[in-house]
Amino acid sequence: MYDELSSYVKRVVERAAELDRYREHSVSPPDNWTLRNYWLYAQLQLPAKTQIDAVEFLTGARFACDRVIRAMHSQELIDYAADNAPRPPVADELAQMFEPTCFQRLLLPRVRRLGVGVSELQLKELDFSGVYLSGVECQRTTRANLRAEETLRTVVGETIAEKHKQLKARPNVMEVVSDLNAIKEKLEKSVDKSGGAEDDAHVVERMRLNALFNTTQTVEAVSAKTTERVAVKTVVKTTLCFESLVTEPEDVDWRIVKMNQFGRVVSRMTTN
């Protein structure tokens, strides 16, 4: 324990120059206190063998957010989310970026709501005014626990998808809970018995990074009832939580596990 703590403190001190670099690149939200920024930096140094570069991470996160927002407004994905079209390639692309349950429970319902009441939707403008690292969490767990958690996520995600197909609507919590026996049976069938005691003792490191994106979005939509074409400009704050193993540098492979969006309409204009 002492050796681990000593190594951690050494990493924090030796990489202190990164704090100035992060400040130059505006890594942290502008309303953060200095102590909060130092805390985020210190949390980034927790992995024993993997150094996470916040500037590099945010560059990739911005690209991912841009792709997600544009894909959410694509007509083919909106039609698929509403069960009006077969699964398009863009859905497969996003499924690779998201953790399965997050894809089913958070992303697709958001896309579905975008298409309610409109016959046509198009993203005309997407401008980023800020990209920030807003949260860092590093956890140590065993490979066995990780496998059990991933199995649970998969089974619950499959159950939600099945419920959606049956009900043609997003299932609520009680509808999923009502299938607990089915979930239990699937879990028992899905449990991988390999690894055993070795996996119970094998410790891995997992990191979650929250990225905050300030954007201005202009969407042009056509009302399904009146055929009126309207351009709506909205200021949107999007938070994406990225998760990856960081035990070894080659383990790093970020996936989105949470997504939150808050928007404020700043203008609405009829265009026809």
Q: Is 238:259 a contact under the CB 8 Å cutoff?
A: yes
The residue with tokens 């324990």 is 1
Task: Give the pLDDT confidence score for residue 177 in this predicted structure.
Answer: 56
Residue 123 sits at φ, ψ, to 5 deg, of -85, 115
Q: Total structural domains in the chain?
A: 1
Task: Give the pLDDT confidence score for residue 190 in this predicted structure.
Answer: 59
3-class state of residue 245 by DSSP: strand
The residue with tokens 């349950």 is 101
Task: Give the pLDDT confidence score for residue 148 in this predicted structure.
Answer: 74
Backbone CA torsion sign across 230, 231, 236, 240: positive
Q: Is 238:256 a contact under the CB 8 Å cutoff?
A: no
Tell me which residue range forms the domain holding 23: 2-270
Task: Give the pLDDT confidence score for residue 26 in this predicted structure.
Answer: 97
Written as one letter, the residue type at 53 is D
Q: Is 191:151 a contact under the CB 8 Å cutoff?
A: yes
Written as one letter, the residue type at 174 is M
Q: What string of pLDDT tens digits covers the 272 residues of the chain?
A: 667 888 999 999 999 999 999 999 999 999 999 999 999 999 999 999 999 999 999 999 999 999 999 999 999 999 999 999 999 999 999 999 999 889 988 999 999 999 999 999 999 999 999 999 999 999 988 877 777 777 766 666 666 666 656 655 555 555 555 555 565 666 566 555 555 555 566 889 999 999 999 999 999 999 888 889 999 999 999 999 999 999 999 999 999 999 999 999 999 998 86
Q: What is the rounded distance in angstroms from the CA atom of residue 141 to the CA atom of residue 245? A: 10
Written as one letter, the residue type at 230 is V
Residue 195 sits at φ, ψ, to 5 deg, of 100, -55
Q: Measuring CA to CA, which residue among 262, 173, 257 is closest to residue 208?
A: 257
